[in-house]
DNA sequence: ACGGGCTTACTAACCAGTTAGTAAGTGTGG
DNA sequence: CCACACTTACTAACTGGTTAGTAAGCCCGT
């Protein structure tokens, strides 16, 4: 908790890397490794090599491979949200704009998308350490997106059948994940941002019964 | 699940299984194993144990783990198509009915869905032996579905913007894969068949500009 | 100011377990 | 007899994790 502020920056000397800095390096490396090889296949040796230390050094910082994975996932969330100005997730149509914007950004961050895709796929295997994280993530997204759908519905005086908002939310989440998969395997065949916008607009239009358009920032 | 149900046929003597029969057993076992643990994490020992032999026995039949995977994928295709009465993939609206029907069947074949999901996710890792298979599969589906979309468009006298059929096809494929993922992680949260029908209808309705309905045969 | 005590960051060596794959031998049905 | 299915026994490579030891930096009493 109460660390002295002086230890953080102040001296830009490149002596021994500070703990915080080193950890960040390792997290970035782990993201790359898990992204390109998966969690099971990506080894601590791989991660360590990328920051120029041994695998024992990585364990010194993170304790175990499982814990490292956890922090990688949190790290991804942190990075993901930090570009968001408002600092909190928007609602209504803004949420969907945000999703499309994220897709556009993702098209230039193949590594992160790959890590997410691989981990999500792997997570459906028995007893995978990331499965609850992924499930939780889906649940949260489902809640936020379905709420945004309901917002749009009331905004446009549309009465939604029971469970329709959730169905739409599930479809939106599904389409985003699925498109990422296709894009990773064949970037030529899919324009990630455009395809995402198209798909989300389709779902919203069909759900609300009137055309919905998402501006292309 | 019965471990060696097939090996001990009748009372007389333990007949030696024919090569073809044994191979089929192994393929089924491998599908289960790769489905529940993934390709990398699922070992030949696991597969062998399920048919009551050693892992060397499996290698005797398939030569290597990679070759086994290939045959598993082919096997899945064979099984997948054989329930199709017409023996060839339908077009137009029938294709989408077929997709929803497949989703409904899949809800009772968790193992296969899981195998497909895990393998697809894993396939985006560097140099994965299944990546070209998955990419190919996507390409074929994209072709068939976009053609079906174009069929529907001409059928309803709708002029589609350039590339719109492909976008719709990509969205349909994506939504199916994504929903499977969500369903695997939390079957309560998603009604696979219903969600698939809803999502496909949404995309088609938005694409064609008029309501599209898929019967629930 | 400086030397000792303590913490941090790491390495080298090793562990036990698991992997795919190979080679040689065994039993059996035809 | 003998081809084939299969086992036993093994190897070489790796895995995540533990250990002891070391070098470097920080804090503090004198």
pLDDT in tens, B36-89: 898 989 999 999 999 999 999 999 999 999 899 999 988 887 776 666 665 677
Q: How many Å apart are CA B21 and CA B5, to the nearest integer?
A: 13
pLDDT-based confidence at residue A13 (cuts at 50, 70, 90): very low
Chain C: positions less than 7 Å from a protein CB are: 8-13, 18-24, 28-29
Has residue B2 got a pLDDT over 60? no
Has residue A48 got a pLDDT over 90? yes
Of the candidates A63, A150, A33, A145, which has an alpha carbon nearest to the alpha carbon of residue A96? A145
Q: How many Å apart are CA B114 and CA B184, to the nearest integer?
A: 7
Nearest chain A CA: its distance from B164 CA (Å): 9
pLDDT-based confidence at residue B9 (cuts at 50, 70, 90): very low
Residue ranges, CATH 1.10.10.60, chain B: 1-82
pLDDT at position A78: 78
> Which one of B46, B106, B175 would you mutate to disrupt binding with A, by most A Cβ within 10 Å of its Cβ?
B175
Mean pLDDT of the A134-152 span: 96
Mean pLDDT of the A26-34 span: 93
pLDDT at position A10: 33
Has residue B173 got a pLDDT over 60? yes
Has residue B215 got a pLDDT over 50? yes
What is the third-level CATH fold of A15-82? Arc Repressor Mutant, subunit A (1.10.10)
Residue ranges, CATH 1.10.10.60, chain A: 15-82
Compute the Cα dihedral for B161, B166, B168, B171 and give only its sign. negative
Q: How many Å apart are CA A48 and CA B93, to the nearest integer?
A: 53
Per the prediction, chain A carries an average pLDDT of: 87
Has residue A18 got a pLDDT over 90? no
Mean pLDDT of the A108-113 span: 89
- Percentage, residues of chain B above pLDDT 90: 69
Nearest chain B CA: its distance from A198 CA (Å): 8
Q: Is B25 in CB contact (< 8 Å) with chain A?
A: no
Q: Which chain B residues contact residue A168 at CB under 8 A?
A: 202
pLDDT-based confidence at residue A69 (cuts at 50, 70, 90): very high
Q: Which of B122, B194, B206 sits opposite A122 (nearest CB)?
A: B122
- Dihedral class, residue B127 (left if φ above 0, else alpha if ψ from -120 to 50, else beta): left
From the CB of residue A68, how many other CB atoms can be counted at a distance below 10 Å?
23
pLDDT at position A85: 62
- Dihedral class, residue B70 (left if φ above 0, else alpha if ψ from -120 to 50, else beta): alpha
Nearest chain B CA: its distance from A169 CA (Å): 10
Q: Is B142 in CB contact (< 8 Å) with chain A?
A: yes
pLDDT at position B85: 62
Q: Among A25-39, B72-86, B130-144, B160-174, which stretch is predicted with the lowest mean pLDDT?
A: B72-86
- Percentage, residues of chain A above pLDDT 90: 72
- Percentage, residues of chain A above pLDDT 70: 88
Q: Is B177 in CB contact (< 8 Å) with chain A?
A: yes
pLDDT at position B11: 31
**How is residue B213 written in tokens?**
């309905």
Mean pLDDT of the A75-98 span: 79
A209 touches strand C (CB under 7 A): no
Has residue B160 got a pLDDT over 80? yes
Q: Is A50 in CB contact (< 8 Å) with chain B?
A: no
Q: Is B184 in CB contact (< 8 Å) with chain A?
A: yes
Q: How many Å apart are CA A215 and CA A193, to the nearest integer?
A: 12
Most confident of A2-11, A21-30, A169-178, B70-79: A169-178
Has residue A130 got a pLDDT over 80? yes
Contact B121 A117 (CB under 8 A): yes
Q: Which of A124, A185, A195 sits opposite B117 (nearest CB)?
A: A124
Q: How many Å apart are CA B79 and CA B87, to the nearest integer?
A: 12
Angle at the Cα of A41 from the Cα atoms of B42 and A178, rounded to 5 degrees: 85
Q: Is A120 in CB contact (< 8 Å) with chain B?
A: yes
pLDDT at position B141: 95
The answer to whether B116 and B76 have CB atoms below 8 angstroms apart is: yes
Q: Nearest nucleotide (C1') to the CA of residue A21?
A: C9
Mean pLDDT of the B195-202 span: 97
Mean pLDDT of the A123-129 span: 90
Chain D: positions less than 7 Å from a protein CB are: 4-9, 14-20, 24-27
B88 touches strand C (CB under 7 A): no
The answer to whether B192 and B179 have CB atoms below 8 angstroms apart is: yes
Mean pLDDT of the B7-17 span: 42
**What number does CATH give the domain B1-82?**
1.10.10.60
Q: How many Å apart are CA B30 and CA B62, to the nearest integer?
A: 11
């Amino acid at each position: 908790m109460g660390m002295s502020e002086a230890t953080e920056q102040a001296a830009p000397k490149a002596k021994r890397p500070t703990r915080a800095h080193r950890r960040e390096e390792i997290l970035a490396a782990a993201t790359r490794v898990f992204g390109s090889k998966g969690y099971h296949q990506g080894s601590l040796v791989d991660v360590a090599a990328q920051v120029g230390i041994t695998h024992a050094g990585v364990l010194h910082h993170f304790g175990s491979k499982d814990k490292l994975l956890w922090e990688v996932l949190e790290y991804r969330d942190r990075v993901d949200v930090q570009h968001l100005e408002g600092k909190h997730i928007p609602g209504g149509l803004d949420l969907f704009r945000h999703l499309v914007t994220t897709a556009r950004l993702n098209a230039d961050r193949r590594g992160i998308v790959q890590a997410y895709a691989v981990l999500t796929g792997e997570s459906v295997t028995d007893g995978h350490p990331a499965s609850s994280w992924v499930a939780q993530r889906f649940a949260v997204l489902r809640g936020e997106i379905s709420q945004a759908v309901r917002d749009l519905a009331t905004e446009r005086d549309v009465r939604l059948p029971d469970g329709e908002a959730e169905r739409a939310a599930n479809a939106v989440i599904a389409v985003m994940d699925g498109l990422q998969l296709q894009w990773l395997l064949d970037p030529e065949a899919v324009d990630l941002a455009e395809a995402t916008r198209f798909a989300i607009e389709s779902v919203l239009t069909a759900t609300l019964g009137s055309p919905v358009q998402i501006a292309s920032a």
